[in-house]
Amino acid sequence: MVDSRKVGVLGGGQLGRMLIEAANRLNVQVNVLDAAASPAKQISAHNGHIEGSFKDAAAVKRLAQISDVVTVEIEHVDTHMLEEVASEVVVEPSWKTLRTIKDKYAQKQYFKEHGVDVAESIDLEGKGADGLKEVGTSYGYPYMLKSKTEAYDGRGNFVLRSEADIDSALQALGTRPLYAERWADFRLELAVMVVKTKDGVLTFPTVETVHEDSICKLTYAPPRNVSESTSQRAQDLAKKAIGAFEGKGVFGVEMFLLKDDSLLINEVAPRPHNSGHYTIEACPISQYDAHLRAILDLPIPQSALRLREPSIMLNILGGKTPDSHVQVAKKALESPNASIHLYGKGDARPGRKMGHITITAPTLAAAEQEIQPLIEFVDEQKG
Ligand code: ATP
Ligand code: MG
Ligand code: MG
């Protein structure tokens, strides 16, 4: 056994599942707190899992008692509970970091204070329709209305294209704590997975992310039509952003590359991230290996985070029929360089992340050629 310490994870979705895939290869035990047949538990047979909600204080306490290091696969956790257990168990990353990041507006303020370039934003809590109108006057349209909390896959975002959209925006998001962001007229979106260890901050390569309906659809590693120096700047910015936080583990950093070639942080995630799935096949160690090693203080050579081969990742989302994700996976079986991941989730709601496919090839062009029929097939499955 490489390490006899036990890792506890709040949440047992696909990110927890892929973390366990990495832990299993090192015989490291991961205790999952989530519902009984959650994706992560399905691939991990031992009696250390806890059945319940990661929002339940008693369950988090029990997890802390039977684990040596506690981490998260989701940031929407009760950081006060984690603060409480931090006196008994190591919590990585720090609950302070999770508290700042889980509130997207607090996160933006934090970056501003630390001199990290980030999309401009205004607090709208308690300001109602008049507040939204004022933002329109000062930012112009379109602008982005966002929920500060509990946001993922664009559920929590609303684009205002004119003053006439204010009513529908408030209908969609009015009950949530809101802020507004200036529109980022980006050329494309980039992401970098950053690894924070006891010794410093390391980065995986820069990738391009393509979103559709505010949900990540594809990642390209390396990015298409982006210079080496821009990729390097993205890594530097990601490093600076994450260097400002306390604690260890991997962090996903989402960025906008604007038309004038400048970079802005969109948001960060204090955990493995969709834009880092490609690392499983494309890099010597994956974002999951890196997260596990970082929180356990095991060695991570920076050169192990390099891109071995260009790669493209395609998400498999729930489509128009309950089994359309299975049809996509079956089609991908015919593709010689496709690695297929299905997450073992029950119901396929439209837009729900059900799995992903990664193709690696000697050139990005070859990977693009191989993935094209799969992109077309995925598009046909959309509702
Ligand atoms: P995630 O699943 O990544 O956590 P999220 O729900 O937190 O998503 P954001 O990352 O805020 O949502 O936004 C989703 C997408 O919407 C972005 O990747 C980008 O394509 C677009 N977007 C977000 N903010 C802006 C902005 N200020 N200007 C233009 N487009 C934006
Ligand atoms: Mg987000
Ligand atoms: Mg995002």
Q: In what order do the strands lie in the sheet with 121-123?
A: 121-123, 178-182, 143-147, 157-160
Residue 153 Cβ < 6 Å to ligand 1: yes
Q: Which atom of ligand 1 is nearest to the CA of 156?
A: 6
Instruction: Determine how many CB atoms are found less than 10 A away from the CB of residue 292.
Output: 29
- Looking at residue 309, its amino acid is E
pTM for the model stands at 0.97
The whole-angstrom separation of Cα 93 and Cα 83 is: 11
For residue 216, give the ligand nearest its CA: 1
Ligand 1 pocket check: which of 15, 101, 144, 178 to mutate, most ligand atoms within 8 Å of Cβ? 144
The CA 149 to ligand 1 mean position distance, Å, reads 13
The whole-angstrom separation of Cα 14 and Cα 84 is: 27
Would you state the pLDDT for residue 256?
98
pLDDT tens series, the chain, 383 aa:
788 999 999 999 999 999 999 999 999 999 999 999 999 999 999 999 999 999 999 999 999 999 999 999 999 999 999 999 999 999 999 999 999 999 999 999 999 999 999 999 999 999 999 999 999 999 999 999 999 999 999 899 999 999 999 999 999 999 999 999 999 999 999 999 999 999 999 999 999 999 998 999 999 999 999 999 999 999 999 999 999 899 999 999 999 999 999 999 999 999 999 999 999 999 999 999 999 999 999 999 999 999 999 999 999 999 999 999 999 999 999 999 999 999 999 889 999 999 999 999 999 999 999 999 999 999 999 87
Would you state the pLDDT for residue 269?
98
Q: Which atom of ligand 1 is nearest to the CA of 146?
A: 11
Give the side-chain half-sphere CA count within 13 A for 280. 25
Ligand 1 pocket check: which of 209, 267, 274 to mutate, most ligand atoms within 8 Å of Cβ? 267
Residue 187 Cβ < 6 Å to ligand 1: no
The whole-angstrom separation of Cα 369 and Cα 330 is: 18
Task: Look up the ipTM and state it.
Answer: 0.98
Ligand 1 pocket check: which of 105, 182, 214 to mutate, most ligand atoms within 8 Å of Cβ? 214
Residue 151 Cβ < 6 Å to ligand 1: yes
Residue 188 Cβ < 6 Å to ligand 1: no
